[in-house]
Each structure stands twice: as structure tokens, then as C-alpha cells.
Amino acid sequence: MSKVLLLSKVLLKNAESIWGAKKGSGWKKLLLVLALVIGIIPMILGAVVFLSAMYDGLALIGQEGALLGLGFTVASLAIFIFGILYVLSVFYYSQDVEQLLPLPLRPAHILGAKFVVALCYEYLTALVLLGPLLVTYGVKSGGGIVYYLFAVLIFLAVPIVPLVMAALLVMLFMRFTNVGKSKERFRLISGLFAICLAVGFQMFVQRQSSGGVDSLEQLQQMIASQENALLNLVTQFFPAGRLAALALQDGGTLESLGFLAAFFLVVLASLVVFLVVGNSFYFAGVMGISEAAAKRKAIGKTAFQKLVKQRSRLLSYFWKEWKILWRTPAFLLNCTLSSLLIPILALLPVLARRDSGELLARLQASLQGEHAGAVSLAIAFAAILLLGALNSTSVTAISRDGQGFFYNKTLPILPQHLLLAKVMPGIILSMVGMLVLLAEAVWLLSLSGKFIFWAALCGIPGVIFINLIGIMVDLHLPKLVWSSEQEAVKQNFNPLFSLLFGLVTGGLVAVCVMYVEASLFATALGLFALFALLDVAIYRMLVVKGPKWLENIED
């Protein structure tokens, strides 16, 4: 046990220095915190308002306890999904793994310590998801000291079971895919396949369940009657959440103590299962993780001539970035494929509904009205912008280089060309995302060719805008110290900034267009001109100031 604690301390310290390694002046850090607070406060306030309305509605029928059950279930599901990513990056793809393997440690020691690290990350997720719920419920139900004591205990223990489940899933997956020469590719393909399977399953379940939820009342009814198949299924999947809810519901009674004990028993049991399974599967899955396939065969003459092609510096650097984006699994999932996957995944909840046809028809009608033209365009524009903001390619372009970034500075390439080559992949990927989105719109909403043309026309400068903003953010706050590629893109705050920027800009555009009430043509032209001008201005700034900013990044 002491070895586990010692190791966790070391790993956490290491992670902390990685988190805190963003070197920047005081105001940059302040700006970072401020932006995060501004971004998160409305979300939390919204959640509190929503939760208290739900509470009041459920209290009328004496079912307010169901709110806790639902909250723990949703949080468990989110923790489980995040857990898969954390376990992959902390347990497997972290660079410290190969240093820990030769030490005289049992798998259980390493596993225990890594579990603690992943759990600490999960507490952040849990805090955002459960914090507002537990406090709102406490205030509304007039909970006393016992309630809050129970709440803290349960908060600390709730993430354990879903994290164990994620870890078990990943450990089994990694164990049985640790075969063959191109295991990285094999793992990626089987991982994608698993995602498709999960999404398909979810769609199936959702289609089976009753029509969907349109209003708060319906949601309340659904929770109270427990008719929803999906909810039931998820609750069954995370039974510990139900026990926790029951324990918290009537905090202090003998019954609740019993539930609490049962809950902790489940948590403890899950930990035991985790250690037992991990003991036999972890090492077998993690050994040789950094091995790569090699043929060691001389390249043929024609292939050689094809590979030895002369390109301009700008184009050559772009190709290098492009290849690395496609070949690195963590970048492929988070940057490259996400531009295709996000517009498709966003569509699924709509298609999964039984009444999707009706819903689409309604949407179509509202989008095609005479006056709706300009507003629809603004909404389409905002959606394209948001899609660009969700893609982290440009906003991690510098961070992805890690310590190798400094080598760039020794190359005889103009800094402005380097920046351009780094922002180009993001722009291309966002454009692809935009085309997918517009194709979906044509397919489902049968929008006119004219509308699509205008949307694409203003979408292009919009996409360029958000990508330029992204690289500006990364230039000022690059995360160059990381121990796994996953960390460079996932445990990086910069994508959050670009998201925030996309949301605010998209929102502003939509509101302005609604107020101005111009025609579709005027709006399209206006948006195009405005964002093209903004693009030129930011590009000029990058060209003039960018070299200095690049130079300022020192280790």
C-alpha cells in the first residue's frame, strides 16, 4: 500500500508540473482563468435553475429523490466515457510506463497509483456534473449536516465504479489487441468499430423507447414513472448510483446508513475486481506498447524517386503536418476524424427519434419561410463556425510538436510560412466538416441550392477565422510539455478557448442578424465581407507579430 501511495504522489506531482508548465506572463494566466470562469459560470447557473425547476416539479408528486438517481446515473455515464480516455492515456500511452515497468513493482502497485491519478482527473468532471446537483438538492430539501457529510463521502466514491468499469474494458481490449505487428492500426480500427457499435446500440435503444423528451414536464414524468428504457438500462448498468441516491435521500436514518454501507461495499468490491483483473491483464497489454512495425527492406527505385520529390518549404511543412495528423492515433481521433465524426454524431440524436420525420418537417418549414432566410443563414453560419471551433487541429498546432517544437526554430523557413503551414490542415479539415454539414442539410431539410451556396460562401471565411483564432491562442499558450500525444490534445485547455470563441461569435452573429432583418442576399454578402476583412486583419497580425511570438516561445 505504501508503494502505491508513494508512486501516486510521484505521478501526480509529475502530472501537476505538466499541467502547470504553461509558461506565460501573469496576465495570460489571469485571462485563462477569467475565460474559464466566464465560460463555466453560465453553465453552472443554468444547471442550478434547471435542477431546481425539476426538483419542484418532482416534489409535487413526491418523487424528488429520482433527481439524485438520475444525476448519479448521468454522472456515472460521463465518468465512464471520460474514464476510457483517461485510462488509455494514463495507464497505457503515458511515457512513464516504460520507466515503471523495469522497477520492482507488482502490477497492482502501478495500477493502484495510476488509478489514483485517473481518479483525480475524474473528480474534476464529477465536480462540474455533481456539484450543482448535490448543493441544489441540499438547499431545496433543507438538508442538514448529515446530508452534506453523506454528500461529500458519496461524491468521493461515486467516480470509482464507473472508472473501474472503464479500466476493465480498456484493459481487456488492450490485452487482446496486443498482437501482430501493426497493433497501433489494429487497435485504432477495432476502437472505431467499437464506437460505431456503441452508437448503433444507443440509437436502437432510443428508438425503442417512447417518442423522446420535449419538455421539462415530460422529463419529470418520465423519471417518475421510470418508463424510459434507456434510463432504466443506464441505471442498471451503474447500480451503485442508485444505492448512493437512496442513501442520500433520507440522510441520517438507519435505512440510509444501510444503503450507504451497501454502496461502499459495491465500491470496494469493484476495486478488488479491478486489481485482480488488472494483475493478470495489465502487463500483458502494456508491454511493447511503443513498438512499431518495420520491414527493413530497401525501397525500390521508382518508389524512391516518387518519395524524393522537391517541394517548396511551405508545402513541404504542410505535408509533414498533414501526415503526422493522420498517422498519430491520438491526433487522428481528436483532430482529423472529428471533423467528419462530429457532424455525423450530432445528427444521430435527431435521427434516433421516432418522430424525427415530423421534427425535420417542422424545422424545414421554419427554415424556408420568406423572412426566415437571413436568420436561417445566420444559424447555418453559427453552426459552421461552431463546428470549426470544435475541431482542435489549429488550436493545438504548436502544442502537438511538444519538445520537438524548438527544432523548428533552427530550420530556414520563414516564421510566417511555418504558421501558415500549421494552420492549413485545420482549415481544410474544418471545410470538410462544413461540407458534411451542408450535405446533411441538403439531404434532410432539402434546402435550396441558393441557400447552400450562400451558406458555403460565408462559411469559408468563417472557418478560416476560427482557425486563425485557434493558432493565435496556441501561439500564446502552447502546451509543449506532455508525456503522451493524447495529453497534447485532450488535456489541453486551448480547445476550450476556441470553443468559447466560436460560441460567442456565432451567438453574436445570430443575434445581430435577427435584429437587422436584412434580406438573405444582403446578409450573406455582409457576413462574407465582415469575416473576410477580419481574416485579412488577423492574417496581417500573424505575419507581422507572429515571428516575434514564435521567438518568444522558449523552454
Partner 1 sequence: MIELINVTKSYNGTNKAVDQLNLTVPNGEIFGFLGPNGAGKTTTIKMVTGIIRPDQGEITINGKNIATQPLEAKQQFGYVPDSPDQFLRLKGLEYINFMADMYQVPKDVRGQRILELASRFEMTSALGDPIQSYSHGMRQKIMIMGVLVHNPKVWILDEPLTGLDPKASFTLKEMMREHADSGRTVFFSTHVLEVAEKLCDRVAIINKGKILFCGTFKEMQQHFQSDHSLESLFLELTKHE
User: Which one, 109 or 400, has the nearer CB to partner 1?
Assistant: 400
Measured from the CB atom, the residue of 406 and 453 that comes closer to partner 1 is 406
Considering only residues 322 to 381 of the shown chain, the ones binding partner 1 according to CB under 8 A are: 323-324, 327-328
213 vs 413, beta carbon nearer partner 1: 413
Contact 384, 510 (CB under 8 A): no
Binding window for partner 1 (CB under 8 A); candidates: 140-148, 301-309, 345-353, 499-507: 301-309
* Of 208-216, 224-232, 265-273, 315-323: span binding partner 1 (CB under 8 A): 315-323
For position 302 contacting partner 1 by CB under 8 A, the verdict is no
Nearest approach in angstroms of CB 331 to partner 1 is: 9
CA 215 to chain centre: 27
Torsion angle of the four alpha carbons 193, 194, 196, 200, in this order, in degrees rounded to the nearest 10: 140
Query: For 460, phi and psi rounded to 5 degrees?
Result: -60, -55
Verify binding: residue 26, partner 1, rule CB under 8 A: no
In 3D space, the residue among 91, 8, 95 whose CA is nearest the CA of residue 488 turns out to be 95
Does 289 engage in binding with partner 1 (CB under 8 A)?
no
Candidates 146-154, 200-208, 280-288, 302-310 — which segment interacts with partner 1 by CB under 8 A?
302-310
Binds partner 1 (CB under 8 A): choice among 176, 304, 443, 521: 304
Contact 474, 426 (CB under 8 A): no
DSSP state of 328: S
Minimum distance, C-beta of residue 190 to partner 1, in the bound complex (Å)? 20
Contact 499, 458 (CB under 8 A): no
Minimum separation from the CB atom of position 177 to partner 1 (A)? 18
Nearer to partner 1, 102 or 412 (CB): 412
Give a three-class secondary structure readout of 87-125.
HHHHHHCCCCHHHHCCCCCCHHHHHHHHHHHHHHHHHHH
Question: Which residues, 206 to 235, sit near partner 1 by CB under 8 A?
Answer: none
Of residues 442-481, those binding partner 1 (CB under 8 A): none
Task: State yes or no: residue 16 binds partner 1 (CB under 8 A).
Answer: no
Shortest approach of partner 1 to residue 408 CB, angstroms?
9
Say if residue 452 is exposed, middle or buried (CB neighbours under 10 Å; 0-12, 13-18, 19+).
middle
Q: Which of 208, 225, 290, 366 binds partner 1 (CB under 8 A)?
A: 290
CA 501/CA 507 separation, integer angstroms? 10
**Residue 369 neighbours by CB distance under 10 Å:** 10
Tell me: does residue 555 bind partner 1 (CB under 8 A). Answer: yes
Provide the minimum distance between the beta carbon of 93 and partner 1 in the complex, in angstroms, as a whole number: 13
| Shortest distance in whole angstroms from residue 98 CB to partner 1 | 12
Please, what is the minimum distance in Å from the beta carbon of residue 167 to partner 1?
26
The nearest distance, CB 540 to partner 1, in angstroms, is 21
Q: Which residues fall within 8 angstroms of residue 535, CB to CB, at 6 or more apart?
A: 461, 464, 465, 468
Q: Which three cell numbers stand for residue 373?
A: 432566410
Question: Taking the complex as a whole, how short is the minimal distance between the CB of residue 404 and partner 1, in angstroms?
Answer: 4
Candidates 259, 262, 257, 231; CA nearest to 67 is: 231
Output the smallest distance, CB 30 to partner 1, in A.
20
Q: Which is nearer to partner 1, 226 or 312 (CB)?
A: 312
Candidates 71-79, 138-146, 228-236, 297-305: pick the segment binding partner 1 (CB under 8 A): 297-305
Q: Which of 3, 29, 207, 313 binds partner 1 (CB under 8 A)?
A: 313
Q: How close are the terminal C-alpha atoms of the chain, in Å? A: 37
Measured from the CB of residue 555, what is the shortest distance to partner 1 in angstroms?
8
- Is 305 among the residues that bind partner 1 (CB under 8 A)? yes
Cell numbers found for residue 383: 453552426
Report how far residue 327's alpha carbon sits from residue 322's, in angstroms, rounded to the nearest whole number: 9
Question: Minimum CB separation from partner 1 for residue 310, in Å?
Answer: 4
Q: Nearer Cβ to partner 1, position 332 or 351?
A: 332
Q: Name the phi and psi angles at 289, rounded to 5.
A: -70, -30
Q: How many CB atoms lie within 10 A of CB 247?
A: 25
Q: How far apart (Å, rounded) are the C-alpha atoms in residues 448 and 521?
A: 14
Supply the DSSP symbol for 16.
H
Site for partner 1 in 410-449 (CB under 8 A): 410-414
Q: Evaluate whether 481 touches 20 at the Cβ level (below 8 Å).
A: no
Beta-carbon contacts of residue 485 (< 8 Å; ≥ 6 apart): 93, 328, 329, 330, 331, 400
Does the footprint of partner 1 cover residue 548 (CB under 8 A)? no
Q: How far apart are CA 491 and CA 412, in angstroms?
A: 32
Q: Residue 455: CB partners within 8 Å, gap ≥ 6?
A: 377, 380, 381, 384, 438, 441, 524
- Residue from 62, 99, 296, 449 that binds partner 1 (CB under 8 A)? 296
299 scored as a contact of partner 1 (CB under 8 A): yes
Name which of 370 and 555 has its Cβ closer to partner 1.
555
If you ran DSSP here, which 8-state letter would residue 298 be given?
Answer: P
Total residues at the site for partner 1 (CB under 8 A)?
42
Q: 341 and 196 in contact (C-beta within 8 Å)?
A: no
Residue type, 39: G
Range 397-416, binding partner 1 (CB under 8 A): 403-404, 406-407, 409-414
User: Does 317 participate in binding partner 1 (rule CB under 8 A)?
Assistant: yes
Minimum distance of partner 1 from residue 478's CB (angstroms)? 14
Residue 371 Cβ, how far from partner 1 at the closest point, in Å?
Answer: 52
Nearer residue to partner 1 within complex by CB, 323 or 362:
323
Q: Which residues would be at the binding site for partner 1 (CB under 8 A)?
A: 290-299, 303-305, 307-313, 315-317, 319-320, 323-324, 327-328, 403-404, 406-407, 409-414, 551, 554-555
